[in-house]
Amino acid sequence: MKHYDDIEWIFYKEKILSDEKQIEMEEHLYTCDRCMEIFLSLIDKQEVDKAGDSISENFTVDLMANIENLRYKPKTKVKKSNTRFKDMFVYYAAVASVAVVLTLGGFYSGLVDMVPQIGKSTVKRHNINAPNVVADVSGKIVSKTSSFINSFEISKSREELR
């Protein structure tokens, strides 16, 4: 919390500061006891007497009478419990409607048909006479696996013959 010094409070008291700064410092007084003590220490007896002259003697009585005449009006409570559910339901219904319209209009099927064409048009083909390494590796794996399985079958049939 930023505290103000004596000079700033003197400027505040004399109303030398800008309106924004005056309001800022006044709001600070509501929350800061330390600055309130500094500000109150700057008020002398002459200013208290001058303020007493401008306030009527019946000020407190009149104020209390005005407070008693005020009618208390309780605030009406607004229910917000269903508003979130309604908002979500409306959003869901709108999204579902758009999806149905796009499906019936053939947008998704056209999109699915278009993807391979886009893929073909964006791929640049280079004529390279290099062997397909992936196919060679997968072919080797398949052949070794089949020979491994065949070796089991051969050894099993030999055991049966014995």
Print pLDDT tens along the chain (162 aa): 788 888 888 888 888 889 999 999 999 988 999 998 888 888 888 887 777 777 878 888 888 888 888 877 777 776 666 677 778 888 888 888 888 887 777 776 776 667 667 666 665 655 566 666 556 766 777 777 777 777 766 665 565 655
- 8: nearest Cα among 31, 42, 44, 50: 42
153 belongs to a structural domain: no
Residue 14 within a domain? yes
Q: Structurally, how many domains does the chain consist of?
A: 2
Q: What pLDDT is attached to residue 92? A: 87
Q: Does one domain contain both 12 and 47? A: yes
Q: Is residue 64 part of a domain?
A: no
**Quick one: tokens of 22?**
């005056």
Q: Of 108, 123, 138, which one is at a domain's C-terminal end? A: 123
Residue 151 lies in a domain: no
- Does a structural domain hold residue 148? no
Domain that holds residue 11: 6-58
53 and 96 housed in the same domain = no
| pLDDT at site 9 | 87
Q: Is residue 110 part of a domain?
A: yes
Q: Is residue 10 part of a domain?
A: yes
If asked whether residues 84 and 54 sit together in one domain, one would say no
Amino acid letter for position 118: I
Whether 111 is covered by a domain: the verdict is yes
Q: What angle do CA 11, 54, 57 make, to 5 degrees?
A: 135
Radius of gyration of the chain (CA): 44
What is the model's pTM?
0.35
